[in-house]
Amino acid sequence: MDEFALIRRHFAGLSPARADVLLGIGDDCALLQPSPDRQLAVTSDTLISGRHFPEATAPADIGWKALAVNLSDLAAMGAEPRWFTLALSLPVADADWLAGFAAGLRELATASGIALVGGDTTRGPLSITITAMGEVPPGQALRRDGARAGDLVCVTGTLGDAALALKLLDQPGLPPPLRRRLDRPEPRLKAGLALRGLATAALDLSDGLAGDLGHILAASGVGAEIDLRALPASSHFNGLAPAADRTELMLRGGDDYELCVCLPPEALEEAQQRLDVPLTQIGRITAQPGLRSVDVSGSTQPQDACGYRHF
């Protein structure tokens, strides 16, 4: 099967005919029709086998996650998903693997309303690069540089599940909900849209809370104090995470793909009512630079604002 037959067989169905896709897969470029009153949000992520997902991960889960991590970036900007491209490097053109991969990709693309409009396939080590595009009304994008002293620091959902799943991956009895948090993260698209006009700053948690929150602090020129006792955890995490590892998994484990948002105190209740997932206050933005944490004893300690590092 050559490159073009591969694309027709497995991916053509992800390029639907609709008003904003004038020309999808099959030409040198896609032709897109952005909405006249919207700004374009563009993000790109690469997933490498053995680094961003275990090599034994099911192909459908790889397809889902490759798109999910990009949709999570759009969610963090408050953008509505529109289009994406796929660059896929494969050691071999395995028909069964491709069918599974495309099925996982299609499942999330359909659920989120995003259309595949182009890309590339080539032979090489397994690597997936997706570029996703979304739209946001002018002036309503959720950026990293708007946090102000006195804002509340909040997170959606729970923290540490994916990192714990990775830590326990080779042990028997790993609960399926934990494994799903690693393999099939849920991009918080509805939450991102609901936070427009409320949040002063936001990002998604891909490399760990401490490091990602550090990006907001650097961009906004502020500091933060977070309460480790307030970090939200799932029942599976509470039941399985070793006591000595809990804080590190929740602060720096990565792969949560929850949203970390800053809100004026008066906006918290409305934000919690708007969202389709729990929103937990975990700290406060300060004028004093740096990241600090309050531990279980109530003692305040400095924290390194660092998470997962690629280099």
Binding positions for ATP: 119-120, 144, 206
Instruction: At 227, list the tokens.
Output: 């309460």
Measured CA distances, 63 to 78, 261, 265 (Å): 23, 27, 39
Give the largest Cα separation in the chain, rounded. 63
**How far is 147 from 156, CA to CA, in rounded Å?**
17
**How far is 135 from 205, CA to CA, in rounded Å?**
21
Q: Which residues define the annotated binding site?
A: 28, 43-45, 52, 73, 119-120, 144, 204, 206-207, 255, 308
Residues across the chain: 311
C-alpha closest to that of 215 among 309, 133, 280, 130: 309
Cβ–Cβ < 8 Å for 38, 135? yes
CA 207 centroid distance within chain:
10
Instruction: Tell the residue number behind the tokens 């918080």, with chain if given.
Output: 188
Q: Which residues define the annotated binding site for Mg(2+)?
A: 28, 43-45, 73, 120, 204, 207
In eight-state DSSP terms, residue 119 is E
Q: Name the CA dihedral angle for 267, 211, 216, 37, rounded to a multiple of 10 degrees.
A: -80
Q: Which residues define the annotated binding site for substrate?
A: 52, 255, 308
